[in-house]
A and B are shown apart, each in its own frame.
Chain A
Amino acid sequence: MLRAMDEKRFTVLDLLDLDLKEHDALELRCIGGRKGLGRVISAPDINRPGLALSGFFESFAYQRVQLIGHGEAAYLHLLAAEGREEGVSRIFSFPIPCFIFANGEAPAPMFANAAEAANCPILLSDLPSTELSSRLMRVLTNVFAPRTSVHGVLVEVYGIGILLTGESGVGKSETALELIERGHRLVADDVVEIRCISGNILMGSGANKVIGHHMEIRGLGIINVTHLFGVGAIRDKKQIQLVCSLEEWDASKVYDRIGTEEKTMDILGVHVPQLDIPVKPGRNIPIIVETAAMNERLKKMGYHSAKEFNQNILRWLESENARAVYFGRDDSI
């Protein structure tokens, strides 16, 4: 079983640095308290600090990212106009990771100065607060998702994310290369980073953007898959739906000949269907993997080839038995 690795410390600066696109983009920029950008975000939740700003600090979730929307921003302006700064100065006595102002509304100067003095970063986003909070939750859930990395190749075949595993030299990369050549896609070669999202989805991606989508092929060296096969041959991340474990053909081992038994691999507590595929010269592994992907799709659509086959045989045997009652075991009589 693969367990989660220790999570690295995730700082406010890391949050700003995340390369997020389209519906994940947070559009954050830092407008104050830069010295505190190294503060660690330790919880994947956000807090609306309305109560704390009004002076009620019981159960104040100070360890979370503090999100300030229209209401809170208006209240801060009121406090500033009335010269009531004690609530604000008290909130900065807590080790808050950062404040995020939504709707592009910059804080009142009184608040900005207090944050600067406390080295507490202030981030600003042009997104409306409801949208920003749902995106933040999604992003932070991904960041704090349990993760692990495995030695293997992740490819997308007919829409199914397949993790090819096996010892060095068994032919994982060569199999992936042939699959790419046949029009499928490479997600990551050699080191696959896996995150468990919302408890049941395993999202696999390359460990490193800089060297992503390169492969090492014995005899050729390192090749750039994007340049050789085009952007259509790659993708950044893909859910892992099937594990194909390649291994040297072992004559003493019993391989599944029917396919009704279902073996699974435990990755971060999620059970993924696993096939053990023996490799020996003359066996065309890419085509076997391709067929496995199509078979997996059939299963997801509710059609299980091996089980269906067995059902048909059982039904046929039963009808033979039924006929035997009328005609007798021996047809000649």
Chain B
Amino acid sequence: MIERMTVIKNRAGIHARPAALIVQTASKFKSKISLQKGDDRINAKSIMGIITLGAGFDTEILIIADGEDEADAAEAIDRLFKNRFEEE
């Protein structure tokens, strides 16, 4: 299992489009991928789950990947956050 802390850098936070991007990326991997904000942990392969987090600008998000391709998965998800979901 791999854990990585990241921060939301796009102003609008995780709304529908970034959520869809995360799901798209996460679904490419076999690992079980979760995102955690505070105590709430959700499945990163589910759009409604990610939106439910209500993650706004500057929120810290913990990426948790578990499975055979966990390192690549965590890296790919983290890259989305770093690229501000190709916004701005």
What range describes how many residues of A lie at the interface?
Answer: 10 to 19
The answer, among B41, B46, B54, for a CB contact under 8 Å with A208, is: B54
Q: Could you say which residues of chain B place their CB within 8 Å of the CB of A216? A: 46-48
Q: Taking the nearest CB of chain B, how far is it from the CB of A2, in angstroms?
A: 12
Judging by beta carbons under 8 Å apart, are A222 and B52 in contact? no
A215-B27 contact in complex given A5-B39, A8-B39, A222-B16, C-beta closer than 8 Å? no
A214 to B48, CA, bound (A): 8
What residue in chain A is nearest B42 (Cβ atoms)? A191
Q: Judge if B25 is at the interface, Cβ distance under 8 Å.
A: no
What residue in chain B is nearest A215 (Cβ atoms)? B48
Q: Could you say which residues of chain A place their CB within 8 Å of the CB of B13? A: none
Judging by beta carbons under 8 Å apart, are A190 and B46 in contact? yes
CB<8 Å pairs between A and B, sample of 8: A149-B40, A149-B41, A151-B42, A168-B46, A207-B52, A208-B52, A211-B51, A215-B48
Residue interface mask A303-330, B partner, CB < 8 A = 1: 0000000000000000000000000000
Q: Judge if A6 is at the interface, Cβ distance under 8 Å.
A: yes
Q: Taking the nearest CB of chain A, how far is it from the CB of B30, in angstroms?
A: 11
Q: Could you say which residues of chain A place their CB within 8 Å of the CB of B49? A: 151, 190-191
Residue interface mask A149-163, B partner, CB < 8 A = 1: 101000000000000
Q: Judge if B59 is at the interface, Cβ distance under 8 Å.
A: no
Judging by beta carbons under 8 Å apart, are B48 and A168 in contact? no
Which of B45, B48, B52 has most A Cβ within 10 Å?
Answer: B48
Judging by beta carbons under 8 Å apart, are A189 and B43 in contact? no
> Quick one: which of B21-80 are within 8 Å of A by CB?
27, 38-43, 45-49, 51-52, 54
Q: Could you say which residues of chain B place their CB within 8 Å of the CB of A207? A: 40, 52
Q: Taking the nearest CB of chain B, how far is it from the CB of A215, in angstroms?
A: 7
